[in-house]
Structure 1
Amino acid sequence: MTNTPRNRFTWLVALATALAASPACEPGDGRADGDGGTVSSVVDAAGHRHDVREPRVRVVSLVPAVTETIESMGLRTRVAARTRYDEQPSLAHLPSVGGGLDPNLELLAALSPDLVVAWRDAGGMGSLSGRLRELGIPVYQVEVESIEAYRYSTRNLARLLHALPVADSLLAAVDAELTAVSRTVEGRPSPSALFLVQRDPPMAAGPGTFIDSLLAVAGAANVFEGVTEEWPMISLEDVLWRDPEFLVLPVVGLGDARDARREPPVEEVETLLASAGWREVRAVAERRVIAVDAGLFARPGPAMGRAAASLADHLHQDRPVDPRTDSVGRTPPPRAGNEGVGASGRGDSTR
């Protein structure tokens, strides 16, 4: 698929549908579980076991959400390269290995990473994970389809990095933000919403996905919650029959969410409003179309609270939602793992 702004969000979500040097920490640091035990290995989404007794210090993540998580844990200097989808200015100086599904394997091998994080694939010699293993590169595979799956993969990654305490602090901060949004909309009517992943052909976010979870946190009911597929291809007739109260449309590079009822619509929303057939959908006819930043909603990562808040703010216009405060307006403690703080507490310097 060609990498264009219009298809980038679909590319990131389609990954899920296609899936069947910092100082080392003291020995044992960051590997202890909550019950006081210490683990010696973790299992990735493909069922492969990885030894965690030595920390990984040169990591290449082919999954943007994982890259963002590593950076949020204050371990940016352990990231040896980026993909074309990692657009943070803080990573611009790093070499790009290309796409997440089709990286430059020659460059990857030359970088000598001690861990590559990739989407789970079918395995085998022809798969990306198989080719990486042929090159002697350790690959940890992830499949992040829900908020809970994000927690699981983040804690496993932290064990590999010997940064479990930092990861737990990060996850607690994410959970606090999501809880704050949920409490703010608690007790209000839940409008039905369609999250339109792509318009042509139409695809929706279905049950069990992290977007479905974000809709729930934001106080909305997924209009396709009863289907069996996580990312169903849908028909316009089905949308008309289900009659969502809101339509949520991801737009690449948007920034702040925009409501077509109150702000000039962006090009993608203008096209939807003018499209034959879609104009018959009541939410479209009444301009109840919310454009959201595609990058923010395509990555189940540290910014999930901000994503839920931006959506809730437009679904419930009478009361803005701020993920930085709880239901009574208090500000949670600062997130652990700020820039310059590594897993050992001695500091992974930033560049």
Structure 2
Amino acid sequence: MNPVRQGLYGLMFAVVGAFCAPAQAALQITDDAGVVVNFERSPQRIVSLLPSLAETVCELGQCDRLVGVDRYSDFPASLQKLPQVGGGLDPNIEAIVALRPDVVLMATSSRAADRLRALGLKVLAMEPKTHADVQRVMLKVGQLLEVPDAQKIWRHIDAAVMAAAQSIPAGARGARVYFEVNQGPYAAGESSFIGETLTRLGAKNIVPASLGPFPKLNPEYIVRANPDLIMVGQRNVEGMAQRPGWAGLRAIREQRVCVFPVAESDTLVRPGPRMAEGARIMARCLAQKAPGARP
């Protein structure tokens, strides 16, 4: 074949191939369940079924993209005006579909992901449990929203934890702490984001990393561990002293129990942008209640 004609054919096939080739996704995200989700553009309509994820979206300056949230998402206050679509474990599927979201953000523990995907919705499952998880999820949400330097949120948290640690009196360091996240009792273990913050604050968690981030404990375990200090939310403190053997706990005998109001408790148990404030709340508790703290 004539070299010129051969070159023209080659150019023609290349052009035709370019038009016929499948379009490349503008954005590709792999969620914590290992599912790869492709987007033609950054999502503009977002439903969040996890408070920490909704807070992260807002912290990145993209609150206006949220069109629906779960019943527990109440910070910032503007989220309270959005349609509520149930909880992470019992979402209202019809309500979510009616909002026509470009993506649904949810916890990996939710069982609704497959149902939503079957209805044609894009789902990203992310559930941070450790400091490393929180940092990774923030970067992933930043990538999804195409917000540069999402890492700045984590830098703020890291600096706040460091400052909180420096505010604690030397005598309060080493206190053996039990942090109850929910009745059951469920504890914040050493490997959880709460436990990791406590460690950085100089406290000793009575629940080792080997038991997992948020294990359900036998109440007798806490009796045997006999913590110096108990941290618990107002919702869960009722009846604590009446549990078998708990009246004899050192923390309860000496009134070394920090009971956090609902707003503070919500801040503490959400692995998101307000972890900085959470560190300050726990540091204040240690400085006031831990053995060896200031009188």
TM normalised by structure 2 equals 0.81
Structure 2 equivalent of residue 256 of structure 1? none
Q: Is the 8 A contact 2:49 2:104 kept in 1?
A: yes
Q: Deviations over 1:75-102 (max 9, x none)?
A: 1110011211112331222111111222
Secondary structure of the residue aligned to 1:92 is helix
Structure 2 equivalent of residue 103 of structure 1? 91
Partner residue of 1:137 out of 92, 97, 121: 121
Structure 2 equivalent of residue 291 of structure 1? 259
Q: Percent identity?
A: 30
Pairwise mapping of residues 312-327 of structure 1 onto structure 2 (< 5 A)?
Answer: 312-317=283-288
- CA apart distance, 1:228: 2.7
Q: Is the 8 A contact 2:27 2:144 kept in 1?
A: no
Q: Deviations over 1:17-38 (max 9, x none)?
A: xxxxxxxxxxxxxxxxxxxxxx
Separation in 2, partners of 1:243, 1:223? 9
Pairwise mapping of residues 295-306 of structure 1 onto structure 2 (< 5 A)?
Answer: 295-306=266-277
For the aligned residue pairs, the C-alpha RMSD in angstroms reads 2.2
Q: Is the 8 A contact 1:206 1:230 kept in 2?
A: yes
Letter in 2 for 1:49: V
- CA apart distance, 1:243: 1.7
- CA apart distance, 1:225: 1.7
Letter in 1 for 2:276: G
Q: Measured at CA, do residues 271 and 117 of structure 1 come closer, stay the same or move farther in structure 2, by a change above 3 Å?
A: same
Structure 2 equivalent of residue 177 of structure 1? 160
Separation in 1, partners of 2:181, 2:80? 28
Letter in 1 for 2:69: R
Letter in 1 for 2:32: A
Structure 2 equivalent of residue 258 of structure 1? none
Q: Is the 8 A contact 2:37 2:123 kept in 1?
A: no
Secondary structure of the residue aligned to 1:140 is strand
Q: Is the 8 A contact 1:62 1:99 kept in 2?
A: yes
Partner residue of 2:131 out of 147, 150, 158: 147
Separation in 1, partners of 2:40, 2:135? 21
Structure 2 equivalent of residue 214 of structure 1? 197
Letter in 2 for 1:294: S
Q: Is the 8 A contact 1:194 1:222 kept in 2?
A: yes
Q: Is the 8 A contact 2:53 2:272 kept in 1?
A: yes
Q: Deviations over 1:124-168 (max 9, x none)?
A: xxx411111111110000021111101101111111111132x22
Structure 1 equivalent of residue 218 of structure 2? 235
Pairwise mapping of residues 258-273 of structure 1 onto structure 2 (< 5 A)?
Answer: 269=237, 271-273=239-241
Separation in 2, partners of 1:208, 1:302? 19
Separation in 2, partners of 1:312, 1:204? 18
Secondary structure of the residue aligned to 2:165 is helix
Q: Measured at CA, do residues 279 and 116 of structure 1 come closer, stay the same or move farther in structure 2, by a change above 3 Å?
A: same
Q: Is the 8 A contact 1:150 1:301 kept in 2?
A: yes
Separation in 1, partners of 2:122, 2:209? 39
The runs of 5 or more residues in structure 1 that have no matched partner are 1-38, 253-267, 320-351
Q: Measured at CA, do residues 148 and 96 of structure 1 come closer, stay the same or move farther in structure 2, by a change above 3 Å?
A: same
Separation in 2, partners of 1:102, 1:270? 26
- CA apart distance, 1:227: 3.6
Q: Measured at CA, do residues 130 and 275 of structure 1 come closer, stay the same or move farther in structure 2, by a change above 3 Å?
A: closer
Letter in 2 for 1:162: E
- CA apart distance, 1:247: 0.8
Separation in 2, partners of 1:242, 1:97? 41
Structure 1 equivalent of residue 148 of structure 2? 164
Structure 2 equivalent of residue 118 of structure 1? 106
Q: Is the 8 A contact 2:47 2:68 kept in 1?
A: yes
Structure 1 equivalent of residue 30 of structure 2? 43
- CA apart distance, 1:52: 5.5
- CA apart distance, 1:50: 2.5
Structure 1 residue 223 and structure 2 residue 210: aligned?
no
Aligned length: 260
Letter in 1 for 2:174: S
Letter in 1 for 2:114: G
Letter in 1 for 2:101: P
Larger Rg: 2
Q: Measured at CA, do residues 54 and 290 of structure 1 come closer, stay the same or move farther in structure 2, by a change above 3 Å?
A: same
Letter in 2 for 1:281: L
User: Structure 1 residue runs of 4+, over 3 Å off?
Assistant: 183-188, 268-271, 273-276
Separation in 2, partners of 1:65, 1:191? 29
- CA apart distance, 1:73: 1.4
Separation in 1, partners of 2:89, 2:243? 33
Separation in 2, partners of 1:100, 1:237? 31
Partner residue of 1:65 out of 36, 39, 52: 52
Q: Is the 8 A contact 2:168 2:286 kept in 1?
A: no
TM normalised by structure 1 equals 0.69
Structure 1 equivalent of residue 182 of structure 2? 198
Secondary structure of the residue aligned to 1:41 is strand
Letter in 1 for 2:29: V
Q: Is the 8 A contact 1:219 1:312 kept in 2?
A: no
Secondary structure of the residue aligned to 1:175 is helix
Secondary structure of the residue aligned to 2:221 is helix
Structure 2 equivalent of residue 76 of structure 1? 63
Q: Deviations over 1:2-23 (max 9, x none)?
A: xxxxxxxxxxxxxxxxxxxxxx
